[in-house]
Structure 1
Amino acid sequence: MNSRLVGFFIWRALCGALALAVATRSSYAHPVSISRALVYVRPDEITAEIEVFLEDLYLFHTLRTDSRDYLSATEIGRGIQLHRQFIAERFQILDIDGRPLVSKLDSTTWQPPASGVPLAELMDHQLTFSLRFDLDEAPEFLTFVQKFTDGGAVLPSEMTLHVQQEQQPESEPVALRPHEPYILRLRWDGPPLSMGDGREQQVAWLVKAKQETLGISSYSSTYSFLYVENRQVRHEILIPLQTLLLDLPIEHEHRDFLSPEEQRGAAAVVGDYFAKGLPVRINGATVEAKFEKCDFFGLATKDFARDANDRDVSLANGRVGVILSYRCPAFPETVSMSWNRFTESMWAVDVVILAGDRIEKRTLSRVGNRQQLEWESPLPHRVVPFSPLRANDLPQSLSLSWTAILGFDIAILIWLVGWRILRPRLTKSPSTPAVFAAAVVALVVGWFAHSRIWQSDPISTAEAAQIFAPLHRNVYRAFECPTDGEVYDALALCVDGELLEHVYRQIHQSLDMQDQGGAIAHVTSVDVSDGTVQQTVHARSEPSFYYVCQWDVAGNIEHWGHLHERRQRYVASFRLNVINGYWRITHWDVLDEQPLGTTVTVREFSR
């Protein structure tokens, strides 16, 4: 056989292999299962129709063919019964707590041809399986999961999901991949928007929806909030539990839930995972992350306000909230962060930077080397200079009292007795002791008359308020200073040295919310009311007075992009003294304290 003939046969063999590969790819290029779910949601019931190809029954249940490569009607009937149970178990709708709703199977109406169906035509036939889920109340959240194939299958199953809520506009279909939950929030409290609604109605509807969800519009996205605060940067990450599990396995006994004990055991591991994967530099220096807390949440908005890690959390729709803080000695003028915690399903993350009233959003991505965030304060941090409160001379007036009159009477009596005793001697020759005694008596009487007859007027309530208000306000303002040293210096202009340490600890503890993951409250207002002067101490050189008043403090604490404004009411007794010509608070005793409530708003930022 010559070389040309050999080459011809080799060429024919290669062509045949290529043709077979193309034919095989054309026949099986689709996923192992393609299906469609049509779901209709009412307040008391959910109905679902699952459309599948006949090929699913053959592949999932290994149905047997006859000698003609046909599936007989009997074998198809057996496959239908098996697939009804398969769908009931592997197509799940979960409630707000991640627990599967109980489904009821309706009959399948499709009847196979009596002669059966050849394997080559399995994709030409579709079957519809109907499910019904009874509800005790209108659901706020629903989670949809299909588990037709394993998550790591080479050819994963694909489902197109259509969800229609009663009396709501038609929604867009979504692609549901195996074991990847789709979370939907439903509203039942008002009619849907229509094209005829005006701009005001549309804005009001959107604002209400945003407030109800605290600005969290996607339950499969990761949220990152970077708070630039005085002397610290706080980083809060809210990530779906399913996303986190792709990169950080967490041991759990139950297939679908994390128990409270497992959550508490995993908290430190999750915190360390993010602390090491999100390095931060502040003002050019690397700052070590301090792990504050890790909470596991459900879907309900109220979960953010409750004690976390106290009940089971679903692996399908649970969320993990992690808080890290980075303390620094001065206000952060520059911040840089590297995001090294992308997963298979998280290729990008939006980081919202909140610095005072300024809000920015940056997108970090594992694609294109965009994992680094650089932020610089647009304006230097400035604190309005503090000035001590100078004591003005208090008005003087004549104030005769029985004490003063009695003092004069005693002084005159002393002079009369002394004169009778000393007179015989004085007529001869005045002695030095006599002159000295007379001078001492004169000084005593003069001092007594000056201090007891001419004295300061009592300080009025209006004058006391003018003295107290700026001192008290500056105590809170002092904590806006960028360093501890400057805080102490500012407090020293308002508070006497012996009281300074006590006031620093008391105010600092009220602002540093350790139970809120290290958040530092920002005081927005201090309103003093109902002040009264209890006592004025009459000292012409260094007067003082006791003052009792009530005041309300409003402070902001921010978490997960929403703002908590808390108001607290205090009643306390103070003493104010003039020290070296300036007023100082020398006594501070809290008599009563009570909360006035909390309001929650959502931050707005330009996209």
Structure 2
Amino acid sequence: MFAALPAGASGSFGLHPQDGPHVDVRIAITDDQVTLSLTMNLVFLDELIPQRREQADLIDPPESSQTIAALLEYFASEQPLLVDGEIVEPRIEALYIDDPSPELMPLFPRTGMRGLRKIRFELIYPLSSPPDRVQFTWNSYPMSELTGGPLVIKAELTAEGILDIVEFTEQERGYTWHRTGQDIQSRMLQVPEPVVQQEDSSLLSTISIIVMAVGAIVLIAMLVSGRPAEALATLILMVILVPLFYLVGRPGNTPPTKEEARTIFDSLHANVYRSFDYVDESDIYDALSLSVDDELLEQMYATIFRGLIMQEEGGAVSRVTRLTPLNFDLENVGMLSRPTGPGLPEREALGFNVLYTWQVEGTVTHWGHSHSRTNNYTARYGVIATEQGWRISQMQPLEQDRVDDDPEFTLDEDIEL
């Protein structure tokens, strides 16, 4: 249950220097348990459960049992977890303490090794049945060295396949999660269906009969009058015209207006980013397939995923917290080529091309706080009508600019995520 990591291994915990108390909180809700994964430095631990140790900046192996007992008592009594109205007692799955390099000590002039050394453990709350409601409480808010006020604890919560951010403050200490029961389809914005232009079958039949009757009369007259060449030409013309008439008059998709195209694309584009609220890659692909044509899925996944990575935060993947359309130019409406697999013939489908500019605000949450980044993007897209509905079939990224506060842009209404 106790493990000490080797010297220099603090990087495995994700070093984020702060000369004061800090904690990283991650919550996972499944059908059979709630898991609270916590990583904190000894400064925060001592605020949580004051206890005496032989060395203030170290937890020796013999002292681990005392620490585990104190943690279990604290979370059971001071921060109880309620599932469907009933208190659930936790157990500690494992407890690890790192052994950071002394070379990092200059980053912590006030708290020293107590601020640098971290403890990590998981609280497991076993469940007898899938939960409908889980109530969390957080009651420890040491003073922040950055703000001078009580810490604001931001936690990552994963449930029903979705990653969300939960915030605990000294004023708002509780959070209640409710099961939604929603599947992937119901989490997406509704996209208008392609409008099918219906034929008038009765009129079509009447005209076809008239064309056939007139043609037959002309054909007989030409044969009687001894003009076989003209009769043959009339027969060929009838063979061509009648099927062509049906072909032109068959049902088809009606081209969207500019306003309709804007509504279609805004919804599809927002759903692309909503797909990345999911944690598992398979769920992300399933969600993307509701907005993106099959041949573009891999490229779309890779492009959006790269855009969500924050290199300045160690390559962490951010969560989109705001998506704002900036500019929409409808370039053309008509028949577009639909990508096919290798060796397959090209196909066409009714669709439209747009030149689109949008803004994305992404957030990475760790060590109880978050880092945000805002980027503007411009790309050219193709959208086609398929048997399953409208889908993005083409994408050509053009520009990407990092912005934090750009007064030159007048933002359209945000897309709800």
TM-score (norm 2): 0.50
Pair member with larger Rg = 1
